[in-house]
Amino acid sequence: MVKAAAKQKKQSFRKSVPLLVIALPAILYILVNNYLPMFGVFLAFKDYNFFKGIFGSDWCGLDNFKFLFATENAWIMTRNTILYNLAFIVIGTVFAIAVAILMNEVGKLFRAKFFQSALLLPNLLSWVVIAYIGYAFLNPETGFINNTVLSSLGKEGVAWYTESSKWPFILILVYLWKNMGYSSIIYMASIAGIDKGIFEAARLDGASKLRQIFSITVPLLKPTVIMLTLMSVGRIFFSDFGLFYQVPMNSGALYSTTQTIDTYVYRGLMELNDVGMSAAAALYQSVVGFIVVVAANAVVRKVDSENALF
Amino acid sequence: MKGKKVVSYFMAAVLMTGICGSVPAAEVHAEGDYEKVVYAFPSFNNIPTEESIASVEEAINEITREKINVEVDLMPLNIAEYTQQVTLALQGGEAVDCFMSLGDFNNCVSTGMAADITDLVDTYAPETRDLIGEEWMKTTTKEGAVYGFPTYKPVALTPMVVYKQKYVDELGIDMSKVNSIEDLTDVLRKVKEAYPDITPLVPVNSGETGIMQAAGDVDFLSDDYTSPKGVLMGESTEVVDFYSTDRFKELCSLTRTWYNEGLIMKDAATTTAAAAELMSADNSFCYVAAYSYPEADTAASLEAQCGNFELGAKIIGEAYLDTSSVNALTWMISSTSKVPEAALKFLNLTFTDKEVVNLIIYGIEGRDYVKDAEDFVSYPEGQDASTVPYTAQLSCGVLGNFFIMYPMAGTNKESLDWELEQNKAAKTSNAMGFSFNSSSVKTEYTAVANVVSQYLPGLQCGSVDPETELPKFIDALNSAGMGSIVSAKQEQLDTWMAENK
């Protein structure tokens, strides 16, 4: 009995050897890129000194973390980070699914390929380039919106880079424009994987296109949605630095709606260059992210155990 | 040895997040009996190839072997990544013996990057010590310990307005009457009136109008002028929050007036274009910045970058020297250096030996540059800075001793005298030599830096109303801990004053 089990185990291991070999480069990459640097977490608790080195530097307890909570800005940047990420998760998912479904309906013709590429293109641009595209629209003196759109409507121009109230909309719009195409690819792949027979049966029963979408496509996408959402929930304390730093052109007047944890850390530490404080900020974000993922997964497991990640 | 390698590998992995590029490995040379010194310097030119660097090294070594029994390894690093690369190299345990503080003397000292060379200076670099002089050596001395030598060059930055000559001529404006930043308003108005399409004043950099440098006698007490915190005003020895001073309020109202009358660029606070680019366009007239060269030289040297318009420059204030104007560029020996004595001996030569410093700057005569009878340097026929095998000419203001470098053709020697004179004659802050150690208020510094970058650009470019925004700014500063910074500075300053008076 035991022998047989052991044999089976050995066999299944032998079977998975090729798979492991295939996965090896990726595993190595993760080890080197994500696990090796973890060695440095204790820097977050040290007062780093070059002469004393990493091991010799003095411990300083939680001092490095203080700056994250020191001011009322702490509240603003945490709020911004979380709210933006929530908005991105919800709106981003809705748009990505909508696009995926539409693309699926367009079929496999030339136009489908064209739309796909066109939607994907913004994702290939760097944030700096996008920031300047945005600037071409929003420049208060020569920008397209003030100069062409608003002036032709006979309206006064808006000083876009000093009015913080407009930026939640602008940032979400820019985010969608850049990321929608890319995130819809995964959904397109999932839709392609749905058994065509189900749609056929529905058509025979006289279900309309909309009915098919809401009763077949969307429910069958649920596992994918849950997985992707859980993954982005884990990064809820991180923000896309380029989006929040480059796109608003680093304008001080916009901080109340564009400051996130990452930009705060960057701006604050540009002057101090402190290794310990940067490590502290990253550790804080990771730990909170980890807790949020575990919590979200626990909720999913309670509600719908099949779709939980672990 | 092996353990160390692993550690440095780990460190590199830890610190490489998001940073690409590697530090050229400094090899350990066992051959010969000469001590090997690695000299890492920032270059504003293209980084030359290995072979070109090697040939210059060889030429320098011929001198240094004989004079100080040392061989040098030049490590030119791109200015944009200099600090990062040096930091990374030191953390990884690589050999870098001489490096420059690049604006952050205090940080280099408080994080232990720089070695304490107090006991070595008198033996190995007395010439440099005497050249720099007691007054300036104070700026690189902290709590009694010497940490380096400030680059010896024109340091007295004089605020000037740089303008396009043609408008001044056409409108018959007498620039000699412009002697302060306030006097500028009338000139701007005249230009605006005659040419409504022109933006008379453009910013130097994003959100920087030059008013901070034209503010008068302000000692920023180790802060960057773009983000000052506690400062000394004029003769006073009381540390104050710069933004609560009347002077700052005046300057804000001044720029607000400019903004309301359309005299300053509308998006000065957010534009990412710098002065050179903005001045190259047809629709600009002038900008305000501080330079260390005489008026005519400054204007002449800027023309090429500013769209070849004929430029003029007018001094609108007096140079004011504080500690950071001197020690911003300080040459230091790394605390991890195994050969501090040799490194110091070499550093000494970059301040005192004409041949050595010119080799580093210009490379090899005949190949990289030619020199006329009066020692004026130009590039060989048909070549320029980007085509010669080796040049670091643009680093002339950051390496060793500027005054013993060969001048470039087109400059004149009287300017050098003027600059040397300015260095000596410029008004000097009461706290000259004092530098602030921010480690006790790190948290507040981070918070305050954020608040400053939020409000300062808008206020100094006039795009927000100081009546409403300035009080908000001051409130935000106070809640971010400006008070602690000011009192920490005051405390350190008082101690320093007591020791140095």
State the pLDDT at residue B499.
84
Q: What is the pLDDT of residue A275?
A: 75
Angle of helix B82-91 versus helix B2-15 axis, rounded to 10: 140
How many other CB atoms are found less than 10 A from the CB of residue B353? 21
Q: What's chain A's average pLDDT?
A: 85
Q: How far apart are CA B342 and CA B67, in angstroms?
A: 11
Beta strands in chain A (DSSP E): 46-47, 58-59
Tell me how close the Cα of B14 comes to any Cα of chain A, in angstroms: 4
Does residue A227 belong to the interface with chain B, where contact is any CB pair within 8 Å?
Answer: no
pLDDT value at A286 more than 60: yes
Q: Structurally, what CATH architecture does the domain formed by A62-307 represent?
A: Orthogonal Bundle (1.10)
- Assigned token pair, B297: 């030289």
What digits encode the pLDDT tens for the residues A45-55? 888 887 787 77
Q: C-alpha B197: how far from its chain's center? A: 35
Q: ipTM of the predicted structure?
A: 0.71
Position A271 scores a pLDDT of 62
Q: Are strands B218-219 and B199-201 parallel, antiparallel or unpaired?
A: unpaired
Q: Judge if pTM exceeds 0.90.
A: no
Model confidence band, residue A3 (pLDDT cutoffs 50, 70, 90): low
Give the torsion through C-alpha atoms of B204, B189, B199, A167, to 10 deg: 80
CB contact under 8 A, A37 and B455: no
Longest CA pairwise span in chain A (Å): 86
Q: Do A141 and B207 touch (CB under 8 A)?
A: no
Contact B479 A71 (CB under 8 A): yes
Domain boundaries, chain A: 62-307
| CA nearest to B213, candidates B251, B159, B293 | B159
Q: How far apart are CA A261 and CA A285, in angstroms?
A: 9
One-letter amino acid identity for A76? I
With cut-offs at 50, 70 and 90, classify the pLDDT of residue A302: confident
Average pLDDT over every residue of A261-278 = 77
Half-sphere exposure at residue B385, Cβ-oriented, CA atoms within 13 angstroms? 12
Q: What is the mean pLDDT of chain B?
A: 86
Joined tokens for residue B149: 């030598």
Q: Give the bridge partners for B158, in sequence order.
A: B291
* Shortest Cα distance, chain A CAs vs residue B443, angstroms: 4
Residues of chain B positioned with their CB less than 8 A from the CB of A253: 269, 454, 457-458, 463-464
Dist. CA B235–CA B218, nearest whole Å:
9
CA-based nearest residue to B246, from B490, B474, B441, B455: B474
A166 touches chain B (CB under 8 A): no
Residues B47-75: b if buried by 16+ CB within 10 A, e if exposed: ebeeebbebbbebbbebbeeebebbbbbb
- DSSP states along B83-118: HHHHHHHHHTT----EEE-TT-HHHHHHTT-B---H
Whether residue B485 is predicted with pLDDT greater than 90 in this model: the reply is yes
A39 touches chain B (CB under 8 A): yes
Mutate to test the interface with A, among B9, B87, B283, B450 (most CBs of A within 10 A): B450
Confidence band of A133 (pLDDT split at 50, 70, 90)? very high
Query: Cβ separation of A51 and B267 shorter than 8 Å?
Result: no
In whole angstroms, give the CA distance from residue B302 to residue B228. 27
Q: Are A252 and A231 in contact (CB under 8 A)?
A: no
Query: Phi and psi for B173 in degrees, rounded to 5?
Result: -80, 135
**Domain spanning B158-321, CATH class:** alpha beta
Amino acid found at B20:
C
Output the CA angle B107-B110-B113, nearest 5 degrees: 75
Is residue B25 predicted with pLDDT exceeding 80?
Answer: no
The chain A residue lying nearest B93, using CA atoms, is: A53
| Whether pLDDT at B346 is above 90 | yes
The per-residue pLDDT for range B157-175, each reduced to its tens digit, is: 899 999 999 999 999 999 9
CB contact under 8 Å between A267 and B481, yes or no, is no
Residues paired with B70 in a beta bridge: B35
Tell me which chain B residues have a C-beta less than 8 angstroms from the C-beta of A32: 13
Which among B111, B270, B447 has the least Cβ separation from residue A50? B111
* Cβ–Cβ < 8 Å for B23, B94: yes
Q: How far is the CA of B176 from the CAs of B156, B309, B421, in angstroms? A: 21, 20, 22
Point out the residue among A253, A259, A264 whose CB comes nearest to the CB of B464: A253
Q: Is residue A284 very low, low, confident or very high in pLDDT (cuts 50, 70, 90)?
A: confident
* Alpha carbon distance A71, A73 (integer Å): 5
User: Residue B472 belongs to what H/E stretch?
Assistant: helix B466-480
Summarised one tens digit per residue, pLDDT across range B311-328 is 999 999 888 888 888 888
Bigger pLDDT: B418 or A73? B418
CB proximity A270 to B under 8 Å: yes
Rounded Cα distance between B162 and A9, Å, is 80
Give the closest of A39, A48, A139 to B111, CB-based: A48
A-chain residues near B87 (CB < 8 A): 273
Q: Give me A45's structure tokens.
A: 């608790």
Task: Say how many C-beta atoms besides its own lie within 10 A of residue A47's C-beta.
Answer: 21
User: What's the CA gap between B216 and B425, in Å, rounded?
Assistant: 16
Q: Would the CB atoms of A139 and B267 count as touching at under 8 Å? A: yes
The CATH class that applies to domain B1-154+322-436 reads: alpha beta
Least confident of A62-66, B35-39, B453-457: A62-66
How far is the C-alpha of B229 from the C-alpha of B242, rounded, in Å?
A: 6
**Residue B215's pLDDT is what?**
85
Angle, helices A167-192/A127-138, rounded to nearest 10 degrees: 130
- Which has the closest alpha carbon to B91: B114, B116, B113, B115? B113
Q: In the prediction, which pLDDT does B241 show?
A: 93
CB B102 within 8 A of CB B83: yes
Query: Which residue in the block uniquely carries the two structure tokens 């820019």?
Result: A174
- Dist CA A273 CA A197 (whole Å): 60
Q: Which residue of B has its CA nearest to A65?
A: B443
Provide the H-helix boundaries in B195-322. 246-260, 275-280, 295-303
The span from the CA of B146 to the CA of B295, in Å, is 35
For the cut 60, the answer to whether the pLDDT of residue B24 exceeds it is no
With CA atoms as reference, report the closest residue to B112 among A52, A144, A206, A87: A52
User: What distance in Å separates the CA atoms of residue B490 and residue B476, rounded to the nearest whole number?
Assistant: 21
User: pLDDT digits over A160-195, tens only?
Assistant: 888 889 999 999 999 999 998 888 988 988 998 888
Dist. CA B282–CA B277, nearest whole Å: 11
Reply yes or no on whether the pLDDT at B348 is more than 70: yes
* Closest by CA position to B449, among listed A151, A10, A271, A115: A271
Q: Is the pLDDT of residue A74 over 90?
A: no
A272 neighbourhood in chain B, CB within 8 Å: 107, 438, 442, 445-446, 449
Q: For chain A, where are the alpha helices, taking DSSP H only? A: 2-30, 53-56, 66-69, 72-106, 110-124, 127-138, 144, 151-152, 167-192, 196-204, 209-212, 218-233, 241, 255-258, 261-272, 275-303
Q: Which of B14, B266, B463 sits opposite A39 (nearest CB)?
A: B14
Greatest Cα pair distance in chain B: 74
pLDDT band, very low/low/confident/very high, at A153 (cuts 50, 70, 90): confident
Q: pLDDT at residue B46 above 90?
A: no
B363 or B32: whose pLDDT is higher?
B363
B92: distance to nearest CA of chain A, Å?
9
A191 in contact with B, Cβ within 8 Å: no
pLDDT in tens, B404-440: 999 888 777 788 888 888 888 888 888 888 888 888 8
Whether the per-residue pLDDT at B248 is higher than 60: the answer is yes
pLDDT at B74: 94
What are A289's two structure tokens? 């992210």
Q: What is the pLDDT of residues B255-296, one digit of tens each?
A: 999 999 999 998 888 887 788 888 988 889 999 998 888 888
pLDDT band at A265 (very low <50, low <70, confident <90, very high): confident
Is A162 within 8 Å of B224 when comparing Cβ atoms? Answer: no
Instruction: Give me the residue spans of the domains in chain B.
Output: 1-154+322-436, 158-321
Q: Give the count of alpha carbons within 13 A of A156, CB side only.
A: 2
Q: Does B19 score more than 60 pLDDT?
A: no
